[in-house]
Amino acid sequence: MATVPGRLHVRSDGRVAGPATIEYNDPFPCVNGSWGSGDMNGVVMHTMVGNLPGTISVFNQASYQASAHFGIDQQGKIHQFGPIGKGWIAWAQVAGNEAWYSIEHADNGNTQNPLTDAQITASAQVVEVLSRFAGFPLQVTDSVTGRGYGIHNMGGEAWGGHTCPGPGPRSGQRAAIIELAKQIRHQHATPTQTWQAKALAQAGALAVALTALTADLQGDALVKAKAIEADAAALADLLGQHQ
């Protein structure tokens, strides 16, 4: 893992995209889930006790009553089960569902199998983009009142009373995932983001100035000014999405 992978982003439809192998559930979102989440405290590591195809199959059965936001196989393929930023709730850790994202990791049926390098890379990419999108810190947490990258079993009975993601080495691999996520964020904080931030600030200031100006205009001048105002607002929105 000498090369730092690229940074993902959340599209307007809630799908995560970017320089990784990513597939989206069909249907999207999967049948097991609900709506109404808000601010997110972080993301929870899960282990599948199986492999990705089987997990996709059961998560798409309404009778199974369980799901996650993402699944990652041993080759680093990312499967997204539901949208980010749209209020979709995965049914992954009971009382922790509304405030925590969830990532299932394939283990070939044995929790003692450590995450592969490819899984660590993909997980770091997903954790980084979720952290950046929702605003929680890139850090390990073992508390339901904390923020960052947690584990299923930290929630105890309220989260279903699971031992997931262990017993095994996987919980301890969060430190490596967070470290790589920090490298992704640092390495890809390029000058491109710097000029985008400046352009965003300028576009926002222009929109405010135009709003004030339209108050003193009438007729064709007012129509033209409002059109420019709309263009400035659209530009600010576009730049904000691509920081």
How large is the average pLDDT for residues 25-34? 98
Please check the confidence at residue 171 and state whether its pLDDT lies above 90: yes
Please check the confidence at residue 145 and state whether its pLDDT lies above 60: yes
How large is the average pLDDT for residues 51-79? 98
Residues 99-132 pLDDT 10s: 999 999 999 999 999 999 999 999 999 999 999 9
Please check the confidence at residue 139 and state whether its pLDDT lies above 50: yes
Please check the confidence at residue 1 and state whether its pLDDT lies above 50: no
The pLDDT score that the predictor gives to residue 194 is: 54
Residues 200-231 pLDDT 10s: 566 656 655 666 666 666 777 777 777 786 77
Phi and psi angles of residue 8, each rounded to the nearest 5 degrees, phi first = -90, 170
Please check the confidence at residue 17 and state whether its pLDDT lies above 70: yes
Please check the confidence at residue 183 and state whether its pLDDT lies above 80: yes
> CA-to-CA distance for 154 and 238, rounded, in angstroms?
39
pTM: 0.78
Please check the confidence at residue 160 and state whether its pLDDT lies above 70: yes
Task: Tell me which of 196 and 83 has the higher pLDDT.
Answer: 83
At position 139, the amino acid (one-letter code) is Q
Task: Tell me which of 214 and 77 has the higher pLDDT.
Answer: 77
- Residues paired with residue 24 on neighbouring β-strands, in sequence order: 80
The pLDDT score that the predictor gives to residue 188 is: 74
Please check the confidence at residue 62 and state whether its pLDDT lies above 70: yes
Task: Tell me which of 207 and 20 has the higher pLDDT.
Answer: 20
